[in-house]
Amino acid sequence: MKQLFRLFFIFFKMGAVCFGGGYALLPLIEREIVEKYGYATNEEINDYFAIGQCTPGIIAVNVSTFVGYKQGGIPGAIFSTFGFVAPSIIIICIIASVLTSFSELAVVNYAFGGIRVCVCALIINAVIKFKKTSVVDTFTLIICIAVFILSVFTPVSPAIFVIAAGAAGFIIKNRKGASE
């Protein structure tokens, strides 16, 4: 039970500061889950992010569920997931009750502008860290560049890119493995 509450509070802390989505949270997840508690490796976190991108829901919530499941089975997944979403539920309820009164104030709009810039910087940081462990050879570099270009210049759903990149990785690595 102690482990379950630890998972809850670890993810509660992360959920309380998760602005900008899962990718912005990647450095914090690495620090807490990989470095501080050793609940997963960097490679596992990258895999959780990849799977979290392919499954319905919010990536960071999916990652918390995967880590919780690894540490404590289904109860661990439940405690981790609820720990991650609880701060959002609390904060959204508070904001919803007062937002209409303050949404027109200039200071509120300036604050949101600053938050958006901060989130952009956090996402760029996550992309750089994610690139270091994901783009490991020429093949993965080609996939990365192709998906980037196609996602910028076409209206194709990101889900299609994820499925196509996964299939390409599977096919190429199987052929490469068979030839070695």
Range of the domain at 180: 135-180
Same domain, 114 and 61: yes
Same domain, 127 and 151: no
Closest CA to 146 of 165, 127, 129, 130: 165
pLDDT band, residue 5 (cuts 50/70/90): very high
pLDDT digits (tens, 9 = 90+) for 17-66: 876 666 677 788 888 888 898 988 888 888 888 888 777 778 888 888 99
Same domain, 15 and 40: yes
Instruction: Flag whether pLDDT at 6 surpasses 90.
Output: yes
Same domain, 149 and 127: no
Same domain, 108 and 160: no
Same domain, 76 and 141: no
Same domain, 155 and 106: no
Same domain, 91 and 148: no
Res 179: pLDDT = 65
The sign of the torsion formed by the CA atoms of 134, 55, 16, 99 equals positive
Q: CA 48 to CA 32: how far, in whole Å? A: 15
Same domain, 67 and 7: yes
pLDDT digits (tens, 9 = 90+) for 63-109: 889 999 999 999 999 999 999 999 989 988 888 887 777 777 888 88
Same domain, 86 and 172: no
Same domain, 59 and 83: yes
Domain count, the chain: 2
pLDDT band, residue 12 (cuts 50/70/90): very high
pLDDT digits (tens, 9 = 90+) for 108-145: 888 888 888 888 888 888 788 778 778 888 888 888 89
Backbone angles phi, psi at 169, to 5 degrees: -60, -45
Res 47: pLDDT = 85
Same domain, 73 and 124: yes
Instruction: Flag whether pLDDT at 178 surpasses 80.
Output: no
pLDDT band, residue 166 (cuts 50/70/90): confident
